[in-house]
C-alpha cells in the first residue's frame, strides 16, 4: 500500500439524477447553452484505465495498485454509448472523439467505432498515447475511424520515460504514429503537453522532428485538471513562449482558423515545412467558443473539463427512460450550461475539487 496520502476528490458519485422535463421537445439540431454556444463535439471516455502514469495526469502516488478503477458493470456498454451518441447527434453533435484513460485498452474498440460510424454525419476521432496503435490502427480504420491524435511529450527517451512513469520508450509511440499513418488515419495530430522544467527543452526538437512529416504538432499548456497533478501557474509554459522559441529557429506565420471556435491556434513554417498548433487553455481561455460535451466512462454528462460533478445518464437509461426522455434531459442540461472555468481561473479556483482527466476523458 502506498503510504503517501494525497487528497484526491472522488467526485464520481456526486450529482443528483437529472429530472425528466414534463415537455419532451424534439431535438432541433441547433441546441445552444445559456451563453449561445452550440453543442458540436462529444468526447466519450471509454475507460478510466491507462497503461501510462503520466506525472501530470495520473501520478503513481494516487493511481497506484490500490486505486479503485471503475468495475466493468459500471462502464457504459457499446450499445449504450451508441444510443446516447445518436441522441447527441440529433442535437447537433457532428464530431465524436473517443478518449480515456487510454481508449485502446477497451477491448474490441473497433466494434464501438463501427457502431458509431453508422450514425449519419458524424466524424469519429480518437486520442491515444499510441502504444497500441501498431496492433489496432488497421482494424480501427476499417471500422470507420477517421483520424487519430497521439500524445507525445518528448523525443528524449529519458525525459519521456520519466514523464509516462512506466518506462515506455519513445520508439513505441513513434511506431504507433507510423502505423496510424499507414492505416490512413491522418492528418495525424501530435499533442505535447509542455510543463516548465520538465520537457520545455523538447519544444524545438519535437518541432524539428515533425517538420515536413505531414503530421500536425500541437503544444498544450499544462492545465489544472483534476486534483492530483499538483498544478501551479509557474509550471505553465505560455504558448507565446513556445512560439517564440520555435520562431527563433524555424520562422513561423499565423494561419486562419479552419472554423470558428477552433481550439488550436494555427501557425505554419515560412519555408513550407508544414503546420503546428498551440492550445492556450490557460493563458488565452477559449470558453466563449467551447462547443464540447463530455461523456464519462460510466455515462455522466459533463459540460466542462473542469467540472466537479456530472449528470447521470446511465442510471436514466438503465431505469428504462425512452429516447425522447433522454433527449429532453440532454437538451435541458445543455440549455442550462454556463461554464467558463478557464476564463475565471485563479490560484483559488485551481484548488477547487474537480474531476480527474483520466475519468472524464481528455
Ligand atoms: N490516453 C490518451 C492519451 O494519452 O492521449 C487519452 C487520454 S489523455 C487524458 C488526453 C490528453 O490529455 C493527452 O494529450 C494528455 O497529454 C492531455 N493531458 C492530460 N493531463 C493534462 C494536463 N494536466 N494539462 C494538459 N493536458 C493534459
* pTM greater than 0.85 (yes/no): yes
Going by DSSP bridges, is the β-strand pair 216-221/252-255 parallel, antiparallel, or unpaired? unpaired
Contact 39, 334 (CB under 8 A): yes
Helix (H) or strand (E) holding 149: strand 147-151
Closest CA to 97 of 43, 133, 45, 146: 43
Residue 358 Cβ contacting ligand 1 at under 6 Å: yes
DSSP assignment, residue 77?
Answer: P
Q: Please, which residues have CB within 8 angstroms of residue 148's CB and are 6 or more apart in sequence?
A: 125, 126, 127, 128, 130, 133, 137, 140, 180, 185, 188, 189
What's the confidence (pLDDT) of residue 356?
84
Q: Match 467505432 to its residue by C-alpha cell.
A: 113
What's the confidence (pLDDT) of residue 313?
98
Contact 303, 333 (CB under 8 A): yes
Residue 102 Cβ contacting ligand 1 at under 6 Å: yes
What's the confidence (pLDDT) of residue 259?
83
CA of 219 to the centre of ligand 1 (A): 12
Q: Whose CA is nearest to atom 4 of ligand 1?
A: 129
Q: Which of 172, 193, 219, 302 is the pocket-test mutation for ligand 1 (most atoms within 8 Å of CB)? A: 193
Contact 190, 152 (CB under 8 A): yes
What's the confidence (pLDDT) of residue 111?
98
Half-sphere exposure of 32 (CA within 13 A, CB side): 7
DSSP assignment, residue 76?
Answer: P
Measure the CA–CA gap between 182 and 203, rounded to whole angstroms: 26
- Could you tell me the three cell numbers for 26? 424534439
Sign of CA dihedral 361, 85, 277, 142: positive
Closest CA to 325 of 85, 63, 21: 21
- Nearest atom in ligand 1 to 281's CA: 25
The tens-digit pLDDT sequence of the chain (362 residues) is 343 334 344 455 555 799 999 999 999 999 999 999 999 999 999 999 999 999 999 999 999 989 999 999 999 999 999 999 999 999 999 999 999 999 999 999 999 999 999 999 999 999 999 999 999 999 999 999 999 999 999 999 999 999 999 999 999 999 999 999 999 999 999 999 999 999 999 999 999 999 999 999 999 999 988 888 888 999 999 999 999 999 999 999 999 998 877 889 999 999 999 999 999 999 998 899 999 999 999 999 999 998 888 999 999 999 999 999 999 999 999 999 998 888 888 877 877 788 888 888 77
Measure the CA–CA gap between 231 and 324, rounded to whole angstroms: 41
Q: Which of 44, 57, 102 is the pocket-test mutation for ligand 1 (most atoms within 8 Å of CB)? A: 57
User: Residue 43: what are its φ and ψ, rounded to 5°?
Assistant: -100, 125
Sign of CA dihedral 68, 71, 74, 79: positive
DSSP string for residues in 8-56? ----TT-SPPPPPPSS-PPP-S--B-TTS-B--EEEEE--S--S---TT
- Could you tell me the three cell numbers for 32? 445552444
Amino acid at each position: 500500500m502506498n503510504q503517501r496520502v494525497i487528497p484526491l476528490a472522488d467526485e464520481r458519485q456526486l450529482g443528483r439524477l437529472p429530472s425528466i422535463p414534463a415537455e419532451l421537445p424534439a431535438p432541433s439540431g441547433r441546441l445552444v447553452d445559456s451563453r449561445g454556444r452550440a453543442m458540436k463535439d462529444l468526447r466519450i471516455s471509454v475507460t478510466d484505465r491507462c497503461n501510462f502514469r503520466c506525472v501530470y495526469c495520473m501520478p503513481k502516488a494516487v493511481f497506484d495498485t490500490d486505486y479503485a478503477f471503475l468495475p466493468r458493470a459500471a462502464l457504459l456498454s457499446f450499445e449504450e454509448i451508441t444510443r446516447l451518441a445518436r441522441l447527441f447527434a440529433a442535437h447537433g453533435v457532428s464530431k465524436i472523439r473517443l478518449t480515456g484513460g487510454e481508449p485502446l485498452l477497451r477491448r474490441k474498440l473497433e466494434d464501438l467505432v463501427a457502431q458509431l460510424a453508422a450514425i449519419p454525419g458524424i466524424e469519429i476521432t480518437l486520442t491515444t498515447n499510441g502504444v497500441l496503435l501498431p496492433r489496432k490502427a488497421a482494424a480501427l480504420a476499417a471500422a470507420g475511424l477517421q483520424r487519430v491524435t497521439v500524445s507525445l511529450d518528448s523525443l528524449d527517451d529519458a525525459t519521456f520515460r520519466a514523464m509516462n512513469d512506466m518506462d515506455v520508450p519513445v520508439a513505441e509511440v513513434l511506431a504507433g504514429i507510423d502505423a496510424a499513418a499507414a492505416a490512413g488515419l491522418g492528418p495525424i495530430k501530435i499533442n505535447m503537453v509542455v510543463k516548465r522544467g520538465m520537457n520545455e527543452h523538447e519544444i524545438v526538437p519535437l518541432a524539428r522532428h515533425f517538420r515536413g512529416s505531414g503530421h500536425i504538432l500541437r503544444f498544450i499548456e499544462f492545465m489544472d485538471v483534476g486534483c492530483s497533478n499538483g498544478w501551479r501557474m509557474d509550471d505553465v509554459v505560455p504558448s507565446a513562449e513556445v512560439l517564440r522559441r520555435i520562431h527563433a529557429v524555424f520562422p513561423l506565420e499565423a494561419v486562419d482558423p479552419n472554423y470558428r471556435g477552433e481550439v488550436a491556434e494555427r501557425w505554419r513554417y515560412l519555408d513550407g515545412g508544414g503546420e503546428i498548433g498551440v492550445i492556450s487553455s490557460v493563458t488565452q481561455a477559449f470558453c466563449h467558443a467551447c462547443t464540447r460535451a463530455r461523456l464519462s466512462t460510466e455515462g455522466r454528462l459533463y459540460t466542462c473539463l473542469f467540472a466537479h460533478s456530472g449528470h447521470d445518464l446511465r442510471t436514466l437509461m438503465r431505469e428504462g427512460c425512452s429516447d425522447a426522455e433522454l433527449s429532453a434531459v440532454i437538451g435541458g442540461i445543455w440549455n442550462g450550461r454556463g461554464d467558463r472555468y478557464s476564463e475565471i481561473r485563479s490560484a483559488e479556483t485551481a484548488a477547487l475539487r474537480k474531476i480527474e482527466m483520466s475519468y472524464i476523458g481528455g
